[in-house]
Chain A
Amino acid sequence: MEVFLQQLINGVAWGSIYALIALGYTMVYGVLKLINFAHGEVYMVGAMTGYYVARWLGVDANPSAGGLLIVLLAAMMVCAALGMLIERIAYRPLRRAPRLAPLITAIGVSLLLQNLGQIVFGADPKVAPGLLSSRVLVQAGSIAVTSLQVVIFAVSLSLCAGLTFAVHRTRMGKAMRAVSFDREAAALMGIPIDRVIAYTFALGSALAAAAGILVGLSNPKIDPLMGVMPGLKAFVAAVLGGIGSIPGAMLGGVLMGIAETMVSGYLSSTYRDAIAFVILIGVLVLRPEGLLGKPEREKV
């Protein structure tokens, strides 16, 4: 039982990272019906930005909550800008093109960022700045919960709540919902589509940056290719929770984390990578709208 609980805790903490990344996927997909393959790389850029900013400010030498906040904000701003840039250059021109075109560009942008990252940042792994030290908060028998795990989960949850608030209680949020419901009608109603979409990308990318910083706290190895697998798995998480649904992304992320951890812990760690894809296919076949999504009828 103790093992199970420990694995559960591990899974929830790890899944919170997926949740943050998944939020970006789900928002962009809701608004544009596009899988933003480059999202995983935005997460990577967030982590890298944190690394360089922390070193530049000298924050990594004296960790503090204030330092963490500055680094977090810096990374989120940089990635928001990056997200908007990507949208503007690679996706906007293809808004009228068949669905596959932006998917291919997305893959292209992803590859571009990975390889540029290797050239600019260097291929060797870097140590993320230790902006928050970790203590064991709770120790019950052999179960340990570290303060970092709690922080990660708490931050994810609050960002998710903040996002839900933004989407349901603000005007921009309403515009986003309108655009995701019916883009043409929204445009006819006078909603500035381009701006709304840019805003969506900015928000989603900022969240990915936050994920990048948080993951650097608990798993401090960062490198230019770190976004590939988490990006894919976070997408699966978004699908699992119901693509287009914000609480779904959070739920999906946490479930993914738990699933991966449980499979590693109880079945076999060799198949851990495959589990994400098995879940994906399972969801797509059995319940394509995801856990919290609404079934869509395909119109002729």
Chain B
Amino acid sequence: MAVPKKLPNGAGLLIAFVSLVAFDRGFSLLDNAYLNQVLILAGINIVLAVSLNLINGFTGQFSIGHAGFMAIGAYVSAAASVYLSVPFFSFVENSLGWPIAAGQLLFFPFLLALGGLAAALAGFLVGFPVLRLRGDYLAIATLGFGEIIRVLILNVEAVGGARGLSVASPDPRYDIRYEGLFAVFGIVVLTVWALARLSYSIRGRAYLAVRDDEVAAESIGVSAARIKSEAFVISSFFAGLAGVLFAQSQGYVHTNSFTFLRSIEAIAFVVLGGMGSITGCILAAVALTVAPEVLRPVAEYRMVAYAFILIAMMLLRPGGLLGMKEFSWGWFFRRKEKPS
């Protein structure tokens, strides 16, 4: 496995911040809401893919219920916007005496934390019974949980049930949605950074150990159960974040957005990109988000094409586009070296 030579660090984060601002401003100039929508969906898919990669790629556990965690993040944050915005902002304004702008700045992390932690909690609870299962059983069990979560949400009238929920505050002063490219891609960058650091750290090694040979890992003191659970919880947390971004950008949540098909799409990103390659997942997520837009003239065959990709990838290149490697600039420059 190729460990990328330059890991992102603090300075890198600053560069990322500046690029984000430029990115956001640049695209606002274009004023193309359609383009923004595609970019945002791509960003959300990146978060989903990279978080799923932690379980599937790095820890080798096959989870096909990821949409369920995303749903929790989306619904919890949507409900928070509807039911908690007034108390939150009132608290900020009246009890703390800060201006509304401060509240607006703080509300986003508040929503993210709520959505992410709720999803992480679900991940923990789901992981409990499920993580001792093997390969395909684990897959089906996670699929089951994804469906159970969806059915449960469908039955909660307070978040709309079959009618869905519009993400809006009852008080127009506090009605804010974080749908800008800066907000979305800020989280995307943070997610990739955090997961990259985790995956290529000593802890990440433990994940790989569990993936490669669980029994052997146990024998050298790596608690497989603990690792798997940890991966699940962390992964669910970020899936929850993806959900929050979804709710905020789309402005309306409905369980139809979080079906088994969504979980499969997430799997497709990871499979196509390479189970274990973060950059691979990013590329695949972007490609599979943009491709349907480009293929609109043949929209009828879009899902057929999707299915073909899944099958073809597994038959021809099961490692995915990038396999276990990360994208490195060195690949471009290697040819310039002359053999001595």
Contact of B137 among A98, A100, A119, A288 (CB under 8 A): A288
Majority SS of interface residues in chain B?
A: helix
User: Are B307's CB and A97's CB within 8 A?
Assistant: no
Please name all residues of chain B whose beta carbon is closer than 8 Å to the beta carbon of A278 when the two chains form the complex.
144, 148
- Give the distance to chain B from A291, nearest Cβ to Cβ, in Å: 16
Please name all residues of chain A whose beta carbon is closer than 8 Å to the beta carbon of B130 when the two chains form the complex.
281, 284-285
In the A-B complex, the 3 residue pairs with the closest CB atoms: A277-B144, A108-B310, A112-B307
A78 at the interface (CB under 8 A from B): no
A132 at the interface (CB under 8 A from B): no
Please name all residues of chain A whose beta carbon is closer than 8 Å to the beta carbon of B311 when the two chains form the complex.
90, 105, 108-109, 112
Please name all residues of chain B whose beta carbon is closer than 8 Å to the beta carbon of A108 when the two chains form the complex.
307-311, 314
Please name all residues of chain B whose beta carbon is closer than 8 Å to the beta carbon of A232 when the two chains form the complex.
143
Interface residues of B (CB under 8 A from A): 56, 62, 64, 129-130, 132-137, 139-141, 143-145, 147-148, 151-152, 154-155, 215, 264, 267, 271, 300-301, 303-304, 306-311, 313-315, 318
Interface residues in A, total, Cβ within 8 A: 43
User: Are A274's CB and B314's CB within 8 A?
Assistant: no
- Give the distance to chain B from A6, nearest Cβ to Cβ, in Å: 26
Contact of A284 among B56, B141, B309 (CB under 8 A): B141
Query: How many pairs, one residue from A and one from B, have CB atoms within 8 Å of each other in the complex?
Result: 112
User: Are A281's CB and B135's CB within 8 A?
Assistant: no
Identity of the chain B residue whose Cβ is nearest the Cβ of A99 in the assembled complex: B135
* 5 A-B contacts (beta carbon < 8 Å): A99-B136, A103-B139, A108-B310, A236-B144, A285-B129
User: Are B315's CB and A105's CB within 8 A?
Assistant: yes
Q: How far is the CA of A244 from the CA of B312 in the complex (A)?
A: 29
Which residues 202-242 of A sit at the B interface, judged by CB distance below 8 A? 232, 235-236, 239
Interface string of A105-140 (1 = CB under 8 A from B): 101111110111001000000000000000000000
Contact of A34 among B136, B215, B315, B318 (CB under 8 A): B136
- Give the distance to chain B from A249, nearest Cβ to Cβ, in Å: 16
User: Are B304's CB and A100's CB within 8 A?
Assistant: no
Identity of the chain A residue whose Cβ is nearest the Cβ of B65 in the assembled complex: A277
- Give the distance to chain B from A234, nearest Cβ to Cβ, in Å: 12
Q: A116-B304, A284-B141 are in contact. Are A271 and B155 (CB under 8 A)?
A: yes
A154 at the interface (CB under 8 A from B): no
Q: How far is the CA of A221 from the CA of B150 in the complex (A)?
A: 25
Q: A277-B144, A277-B147, A288-B133 are in contact. Are A119 and B155 (CB under 8 A)?
A: no
